Amino acid sequence: MILLGRRKLTEFAASHAEALKAIQAWVAEVEVAKWRMPQEIRASFATASIRPDNHVIFNLKGKKFRLEAQIAYQTGIVTVKRIGTHAEYNRW
């Protein structure tokens, strides 16, 4: 998959150092993925929440952090919409 929105991930990791390894692992997994439908995401991310409009909420570091992405399955593009702590996610 092609990943857009890396700057959001970098900025978040700069202020939340404990999220860095989880973000790096997520990025590595996304870059080699070839998702064609939402159900395929569950093979790698069992706790991911599939939302309307091709949005997916990924749980990072045991649900400590949440990452929202929009996935264009036809073109293979994953766009990071936002990332935050669990508390921040509850306010989205």
Task: Name the architecture of domain 2-91.
Answer: 2-Layer Sandwich (3.30)
How would you classify the pairing of strands 77-85 and 55-60?
unpaired
Q: In what order do the strands lie in the sheet with 65-72?
A: 2-4, 77-85, 65-72, 55-60, 49-50
Tokens of 65: 């952090």
Q: What is residue 9's predicted lDDT score, i.e. its pLDDT?
A: 97
pLDDT at 90: 65
| Mean pLDDT over each residue of the chain, to the nearest integer | 93
Residue 2 has pLDDT above 80, yes or no: yes
For 38-68, how does the pLDDT look when each residue is reduced to its tens digit (9 = 90+)?
A: 999 999 899 999 999 999 999 999 888 999 9
Residue 3, pLDDT above cutoff 80 = yes
pLDDT of residue 22: 96
